[in-house]
Amino acid sequence: MENWKKAAIAAGAGASVAMFVRKKPAAGILLAGGCLVALALEYPNQFKKVRRVLPDYFDRGMRLAEFASRAGERIAEFAEKRGHQTWREFSSY
């Protein structure tokens, strides 16, 4: 990759981060997308590989989110039961 392309992609990525820090997510996403397009144009074979494995990563992420959701529900149920039990103990005095 030529140096000017590297500089343009780095500048776009830095500007994207700056937009996210300044709480302008739409501009940050737009700049990040532009950087990804530039990289995809420069390295099409690597992006084909990424596109092939991306569904697996989404599937793993969804399973992880589901696991975290179930764990959160169990913790909430435990806290609720514990709270009722503690309230009964205090109200019995």
The 10s digit of each residue's pLDDT in 16-62 is 999 999 999 999 999 999 998 998 888 989 888 888 888 998 899 99
Residue 78: exposed, middle, or buried by beta-carbon count in 10 A (0-12, 13-18, 19+)? exposed
- In this structure, the answer to whether residues 91 and 57 fall within a common structural domain is yes
- In this structure, the answer to whether residues 88 and 57 fall within a common structural domain is yes
**Structural domain boundaries enclosing 27:** 1-42
The Cα diameter of the chain in Å comes to 78
87 inside domain: yes
Q: Domain count of the chain?
A: 2
Q: What pLDDT is stored for residue 22 in this prediction? A: 94
- In this structure, the answer to whether residues 35 and 58 fall within a common structural domain is no
**Which residues, at least 6 apart from 30, have a Cβ–Cβ distance to it below 8 Å?**
none
48 inside domain: no
Q: How far is CA 57 from CA 29, 53, 54, in A?
A: 20, 7, 5
pTM of the model: 0.54
